[in-house]
């Protein structure tokens, strides 16, 4: 019986430094009999030598298209846009199961190539909860970015280039310093505060020194009445952490922003969920993703009203790439150990079933 194999591809998304497999988890897979190929990657937070030291086989950067079709390819972010057919099995976030922009074209590549997609967002346990998610670090980093944008706003400036931090302590210290020594006096509202993402946002605000009364924590009960919510306009930074799969009333709109006039306190909105092209987006005040080199985009406001910045970076956890990768990869490991039995392992069987359903829908849309 041949050894199970995984091929860790490099990430082509600009500024992305995380990895789906870390040297720590790769070693555990190797110890159970896997062969692990790792593409060389100067952008990744983990040095190539860290993988080589635990026994991985290094291969050229972005060489996965030449791998045998039977070799599963694992990565994090979506592949670069292309029309090339995909004959391999891919384990990754593809962002194409919720009718996001271009979703059918992404899946049509698998249809034409005969490959399979196991979307990391939809690997779930028996209770329907994701087996691995970056939620906590997404919320933590999103709140940090929001606080940094408030600090810039207070100086009449826009937030500049964001650079990933070596560790959490470095991030917290930098945010506190830019706020003038800490976050006391800053007021924040987190929607989705009971989830992993929301807990991460709350944790960051606590660690930079916000008083508990100034961290407003909302979840299903508080939003049940339906938006828009004027309370959002009465804080310095609003962080959206909800996972949305159906249409709900918007949380905030251009109309409510303009109605607040010159008295609006809200200076920064952070959409950690960042489903910019999702037709159900509950924050319909922006339509573009922001990036690490330009992390904010101005929200149009009535003349004379205070500025409002929007952050919609779709890979926020890479602000803490090493810690975020270690946590995610550790959580994913038990499922990866079952991957050789994916024809019978429930988590993989369910994922493939969902893929085939979405693939059929895409084929119909694309006329394949």
Q: Per the residue annotation, which of 13, 77, 90, 207 is the catalytic one? A: 77
**Cα–Cα separations (whole angstroms), residue 265 to 85, 163, 230, 251:** 50, 27, 11, 16
Considering 13, 88, 95, 207, which one is annotated as catalytic? 95
| Strand-by-strand arrangement of the 268-271 sheet | 215-218, 188-191, 237-240, 268-271, 309-311, 297-298
Whole-number CA gyration radius for the chain: 21
95 is catalytic: yes
Our separate counts of H helices and E strands in the chain read 10, 12
Assigned token pair, 199: 């807990």
Q: Does 219 belong to an annotated binding site? A: yes
Q: Does 316 belong to an annotated binding site?
A: yes
Contact 16, 318 (CB under 8 A): yes
Is there a binding annotation on residue 223? yes
> Is 79 labelled a binding residue?
no
The yes-or-no answer on residue 262 being catalytic is no
Instruction: Check the annotation: does 313 bind a ligand.
Output: yes
Dist CA 256 CA 227 (whole Å): 10
Positive or negative CA dihedral for 135, 141, 145, 147? positive
Helix, coil or strand: residue 128: coil
Distance in angstroms (rounded) separating the CA atoms of residues 186 and 207:
13
- Phi and psi angles of residue 352, each rounded to the nearest 5 degrees, phi first: -70, -35
Q: What's the token pair of residue 356?
A: 């085939």
- Residue among 37, 131, 165 nearest 333 (CA): 131
276 assigned to a ligand binding site: no
Give me 128's structure tokens.
Answer: 């329907």
**Does the annotation list 97 as a binding residue?**
no
Query: Do residues 162 and 17 lie in contact, with contact meaning Cβ atoms separated by under 8 Å?
Result: no
Interacting residues of 177 by C-beta distance below 8 A, sequence separation 6+: none
196 annotated as ligand-binding: yes
**Is 24 annotated for ligand binding?**
no
Length of the chain (residues): 368
Binding residues: 129, 195-196, 219, 223, 243, 272, 313-316
Binding residues for NAD(+): 129, 195-196, 219, 223, 243, 272, 313-316
Q: List active site positions.
A: 77, 95
């Amino acid at each position: 019986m041949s050894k199970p194999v995984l091929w860790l591809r490099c990430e082509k998304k600009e500024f992305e430094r995380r990895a789906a497999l870390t040297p720590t988890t790769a070693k555990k897979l190797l110890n159970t009999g896997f062969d692990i190929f790792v593409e060389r990657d100067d952008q990744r937070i983990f040095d190539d030598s860290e993988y080589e030291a635990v026994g991985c086989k290094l291969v050229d950067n972005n060489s996965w298209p030449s791998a045998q079709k039977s070799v599963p390819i694992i990565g994090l972010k979506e592949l670069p846009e292309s029309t090339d057919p995909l004959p391999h099995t891919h384990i990754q976030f593809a962002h194409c199961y919720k009718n996001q922009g271009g979703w059918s074209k992404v899946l049509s590549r698998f249809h034409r190539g005969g490959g399979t997609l196991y979307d990391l967002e939809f690997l779930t346990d028996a209770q329907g909860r994701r087996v691995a998610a970056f939620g906590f670090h997404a919320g933590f980093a999103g709140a940090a970015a929001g606080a940094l944008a408030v600090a810039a706003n207070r100086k009449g400036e826009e937030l500049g280039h964001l650079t990933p931090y070596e560790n959490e302590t470095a991030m917290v210290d930098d945010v506190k310093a830019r706020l003038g020594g800490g976050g006391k006096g800053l007021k924040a509202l987190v929607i989705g505060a009971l989830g992993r993402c929301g807990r991460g946002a709350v944790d960051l605000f606590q660690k930079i020194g916000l008083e508990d009364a100034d961290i407003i924590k909302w979840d299903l009960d508080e939003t049940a009445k339906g938006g828009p919510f004027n309370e959002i306009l009465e804080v310095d930074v609003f962080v959206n952490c909800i996972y949305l799969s159906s249409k709900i009333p918007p949380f905030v709109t251009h109309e409510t922003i303009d109605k607040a006039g010159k008295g609006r306190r809200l200076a920064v909105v952070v959409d950690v969920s960042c489903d910019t092209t999702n037709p159900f987006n509950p924050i319909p005040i922006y339509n573009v993703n922001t990036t690490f080199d330009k992390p904010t985009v101005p929200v149009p406001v009535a003349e004379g009203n205070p500025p409002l910045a929007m952050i919609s970076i779709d890979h926020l956890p890479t602000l803490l790439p090493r810690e975020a990768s270690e946590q995610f990869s550790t959580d994913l490991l038990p499922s990866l150990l079952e991957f050789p039995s994916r024809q019978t392992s429930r988590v993989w069987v369910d994922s493939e079933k969902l893929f085939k359903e979405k693939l059929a829908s895409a084929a119909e849309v694309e006329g394949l």
